[in-house]
Amino acid sequence: MKVSVIGTGYVGLVAAAAFADHGNDVVCADIDEAKIAGLKDGIIPIYEPGLEPLVKRNVEAGRLHFTTSNADAAKHAEVVFLAVGTPTGGTDGAPKLDYLFQAARDIAPHIDGFTVVVNKSTVPVGTAERVTRIIADLAPDADYTVASNPEFLKEGVAVQDFMHPDRVIVGSDDERARDILQRLYQPFFRTNERLFFMSPRSAELTKYAANAYLAARISFINDVANLCDAVGADVEEVRRGMGSDARIGNKFLYPGVGYGGSCFPKDTRALIRTAREHGMSMSIVASADRINEAQKLVLVRKVRNHFGGDIAGKTIAVWGLAFKPNTDDIREAPALSIVRSLASDGAKLRLTDPEAGPNFMNALGDSVENFGIEFCKDPYDAAKGADALVLTTEWRQFRSPDFGRLGEIMAGKALFDGRNQWSREHLEGLGFSYSGIGR
């Protein structure tokens, strides 16, 4: 099948390479010229396990092509996926749809033969209808339909998720579109049980409802963790006790420094905003969002308390900057709030992360110089001379470090475990002071 994907980000590039891997002829377009030039030279612009070989082998096989021309992408395909960013636009939580609408305007005059335009980006209810109108205004004779096919992949395991999806949601009332998308997705699973057809509006809402539910679970367990701190219980024990109930389950029930990333924060806010437009409050989701903002600073408060309220001049190592392991994505990463807060209290910061360092230091901008924040490639370098060490992302390589070595190179022996990865008993036995979340 001839497929185009507009937007070469975490979703678009993975989707394009995965479709190509199933034998489709795929064009992937982006307005970012440097990104496309790099991809043509074999440079993958993001860190995503398994993506590089997937892109490489499909480029070599002649099934995956890159272009900066959305027009060419539109001419090429019978299915055009719009997978551009939809970041939070303003203060009211509404996502910015400018990139999506621009992509729709770019392709409209070049639609050639019956084409399914697919909103893959996460977009509010009613967006498929808005894209339909944009195309109709510019190309009244075009033969097309707009479907909604929200993406559920997780960064860090995006290739695996896309290749073996839990489910594929297709929102379309058009039989031809349903048939084309069914044929396109068929090779991704043996049976059709995991392919759900529904209306575009239901599909759009399904994505937000799923993310909001997962975000609410995280905020729920973080709230329980903070109560554990207050009453002297251990949230790890409580979590295991709760999660073993089959109705509850263990997934997404891990306390920590809050959720981040390009999806949960923006999607919860967008859902709250949609509800507000309809005179509703979605108060569980609003609470999840509020709890999450506060949660990002729980660890900072623990660090401050440890040093009697004053951390000015203290050297603090921060392990983990990405919003979660196995990605270089730092959008809304809790580490951003933590680092900014510690720095503004006068702490000297030594940061490390296996992949997200450059993105993170860019995002900090001027504060890097203003506050003298240093990035270290090696985690032990970051810990050298530190009065305290804060773990913010549970990368595998941080789970079982050489604590003996840490004890020797750190100036103080205070560990703040924002992901409950380490054992208090073990560390206290080695002479460290240990602080986790809700333990």
Ligand X SMILES: NC(=O)c1ccc[n+]([C@@H]2O[C@H](COP(=O)([O-])OP(=O)(O)OC[C@H]3O[C@@H](n4cnc5c(N)ncnc54)[C@H](O)[C@@H]3O)[C@@H](O)[C@H]2O)c1
> Which residues in this chain contact ligand X in the complex, by CB under 6 A?
6-12, 29-32, 35, 70, 83-86, 99, 102-103, 106, 121-122, 151, 153, 155, 262-263
Which CB sits closer to ligand X, 127 or 352? 127
Strand-pairing partners, residue 285, are: none
Is 228 among the residues known to form the active site?
Answer: no
384 annotated as ligand-binding:
no
- Long-range contact list for 31-39, CB < 8 A, 24+ apart? 31/68, 31/70, 32/8, 33/68, 35/8, 36/8, 36/66, 36/67, 36/68, 39/8, 39/13, 39/66
Which CB sits closer to ligand X, 1 or 31? 31
- Between the two ends of the chain, the Cα-to-Cα distance in Å is 54
Distance of CA 86 to the CA centre of its chain: 12
User: Least distance in Å: CB of 33 to ligand X?
Assistant: 10
Collapse the DSSP code of 221 into the 3-class scheme (helix H, G, I; strand E, B; otherwise coil) and give the result: helix
Which CB sits closer to ligand X, 50 or 407? 50
Collapse the DSSP code of 278 into the 3-class scheme (helix H, G, I; strand E, B; otherwise coil) and give the result: coil
User: Least distance in Å: CB of 163 to ligand X?
Assistant: 15
Which CB sits closer to ligand X, 18 or 83? 83
In this structure, how many other beta carbons lie within 10 angstroms of the beta carbon of residue 96? 14
Residues 26 and 5: their CA atoms lie apart, in Å, by 8
30 annotated as ligand-binding:
yes
Chain residue at closest Cβ approach to ligand X: 9
User: Least distance in Å: CB of 77 to ligand X?
Assistant: 14
302 annotated as ligand-binding:
no
User: Least distance in Å: CB of 154 to ligand X?
Assistant: 6
86 annotated as ligand-binding:
yes
Torsional sign, CA 67, 355, 302, 343: negative
Length of the chain in terms of residues written: 439
253 annotated as ligand-binding:
yes
User: Least distance in Å: CB of 32 to ligand X?
Assistant: 4
- Going across the sheet that includes 25-29, the strands are 64-67, 25-29, 2-6, 79-82, 115-119, 144-148, 168-171, 195-198
Structure tokens at 197: 């057809």
377 annotated as ligand-binding:
no
User: Least distance in Å: CB of 164 to ligand X?
Assistant: 15
Question: Which residues, at least 6 apart from 26, have a Cβ–Cβ distance to it below 8 Å?
Answer: 3, 4, 5, 16, 17, 19, 20, 58, 63, 64, 65
Which CB sits closer to ligand X, 100 or 415? 100
- Strand extents, DSSP E, 210-324: 315-319
207 annotated as ligand-binding:
yes
Of 28, 228, 263, 376, which one is the catalytic site residue?
263
Which CB sits closer to ligand X, 17 or 303? 17
In this structure, how many other beta carbons lie within 10 angstroms of the beta carbon of residue 346? 12
Known binding residues: 30, 35, 86, 122, 152-155, 207, 252-256, 260, 266, 324, 331
Which residues are marked as active site?
263
Known binding residues for NAD(+): 30, 35, 86, 122, 155, 266, 331
